[in-house]
Amino acid sequence: QVQLQESGPGLVKPSQTLSLTCTVSGASISSGLYYWSWIRQPAGKGLEWIGQIYTSGSTNYNPSLKSRVTMSVDTSKNQFSLKLTSVTAADTALYFCARDASAYVRDNSRSTKTYFMDVWGIGSTVTVSS
């Protein structure tokens, strides 16, 4: 079965760069069938989508974080990564990686392609503190 595992430093100093990697097992990033996302969740709060990346390296970022986010993919290692620069305490959160999947559903009389996140990693806690 498909599994995702986040890894990276649990503590980052303010103004530095947060770096996380998501390792995919049970599926190949190179298949081109999926996009791959990063999502974060501050303690006791809701979910915030950070961005997504495709096999080709094509990316979509949340406009609220776009100036500080870079995502990359390493198909040889079946991994994708997140870098968030100039971090502050507000970036302290549980960071998840997830697989963006799609399916066709019936919408009235039409068949429509829809999207959802069907596999998630267990999350990696990152604290920003000096």
Partner 1 sequence: EIVLTQSPGTLSLSPGERATLSCRASQSVLSSYLAWYQQKPGQAPRLLIYGASNRATGIPDRFSGSGSGTAFTLTISRLEPEDFAFYYCQYYGYSPLWTFGQGTKVEIK
Query: By the criterion CB under 8 A, which residues form the site for partner 1?
Result: 37, 39, 46-49, 52, 60, 62-64, 96, 98, 103, 105, 107, 112-118, 120-123
| Closer to partner 1 by Cβ: residue 16 or 101 | 101
CB of 48 to partner 1, least distance (A): 7
CB of 13 to partner 1, least distance (A): 26
CB of 70 to partner 1, least distance (A): 17
Distances in whole angstroms, Cα of residue 42 to Cα of each of 28, 36, 90, 102: 30, 20, 8, 27
CB of 100 to partner 1, least distance (A): 8
| Closer to partner 1 by Cβ: residue 81 or 100 | 100
Report d(CA 128, CA 11) in Å as an integer: 6
Start-to-end Cα distance in the chain: 39
